[in-house]
Amino acid sequence: MSILEVKNLTKKFGGLVATQDISMTVEKNSITAIIGPNGAGKTTFFNMITGVYQPTSGEILLESEKLNGLKPHIVCRKGIARTFQNIRLFNEMTVLENVMVGMHAHLKAGLFGILFNLPTTRKEELDSEIKAYQLLEYVGLEDFLNEKACNLSYGAQRRLEIARALAAEPKVLLLDEPAAGMNPKETTELTRLIRNMREEFNLTIILIEHDMRLVMEISEQIFVLDHGVKIAEGKPEYIRNNPKVIEAYLGTGAVHAG
């Protein structure tokens, strides 16, 4: 069963066509990778799905519901959460608070509840603290709960972004280059984390990644973009041997992938 469907998605920045007529169907509970050389339009594609950019034309459907034109925070409420290629944490806030912001849409407290610190608000707040802490445990950051986010190492920051996205309880999780800047050990852990997340939280995961070993190991389906156009899609074995892909992208990476 498909959960996310994209039809003929095009984005133009003035004269520049960032993505052109991209269509894809993503199966529920699958891990999908989007690869392609720098500037291929991968991040732009994520930005359109999450409502950061409005597509010039085309449709985005989450469980057959149209997402076009929705504000990013509504898209999040509909069940799509993401991480960012250039890490975007709330730097001056603590690690725990970062995760708690991720729960924003699920917290019901109103002005009066907060002002008078009603028991329901207090309970909700405590529950969300505990849940945020559990997510930190899950990504192995619980000992840094009171640390400022900007003081974490690069790899830890990427994992914090994942925990924050999980806090939003998404159906679909978009990861933009989650392994960028990670050392090999961290990348291995990340690979396991992504697999485990899918089971644990019943997620559909789409990731953009340049690390071919990770992509080939983890994904069930791969889409390849080049100059804004989808040039191939299929299973890892198929993509690995696709001449078009090798020409456009894998040229040097093929060695690693093999």
Ligand X SMILES: Nc1ncnc2c1ncn2[C@@H]1O[C@H](COP(=O)(O)OP(=O)(O)OP(=O)(O)O)[C@@H](O)[C@H]1O
Which residues in this chain contact ligand X in the complex, by CB under 6 A? 13, 16, 18, 36, 38-44, 85
User: How many binding residues for another protein (CB under 8 A)?
Assistant: 65
User: Which residues 210-249 are close enough to bind Mg ion by CB under 5 A?
Assistant: none
Q: How far apart are CA 200 and CA 163, in angstroms?
A: 13
Closer residue to another protein (CB): 168 or 206: 168
Question: CB 251 → Mg ion: shortest distance, Å?
Answer: 19
Question: CB 248 → another protein: shortest distance, Å?
Answer: 29
Q: How far apart are CA 157 and CA 86, in angstroms?
A: 11
Q: Is 157 in the site for Mg ion (CB under 5 A)?
A: no
Angle (CA) 225 37 76, round 5°: 60
DSSP string of 143-173, one letter each residue: GGTTSBGGGS-HHHHHHHHHHHHHHT--SEE
**Nearest Cα to Cα of residue 5 among 49, 41, 44:** 49
Question: CB 179 → another protein: shortest distance, Å?
Answer: 14
154 binds, among another protein, Mg ion, ligand X, none (CB under 5 to 8 A by kind): none
Tokens (6 digits) for 127 = 């529950």
User: Which residues 86-115 are close enough to bind another protein by CB under 8 A?
Assistant: 88-94, 96-97, 100-102, 104-105, 107, 109, 111, 114-115
> x/- string (CB under 8 A) for another protein, residues 139-168?
xx-xxxxxxx--xxx--x--x----xx-xx
Closer residue to ligand X (CB): 16 or 126: 16
**Nearest Cα to Cα of residue 178 among 169, 187, 170:** 187
Q: Under DSSP, is residue 226 helix (H, G, I), strand (E, B) or coil?
A: strand
Question: CB 113 → another protein: shortest distance, Å?
Answer: 9
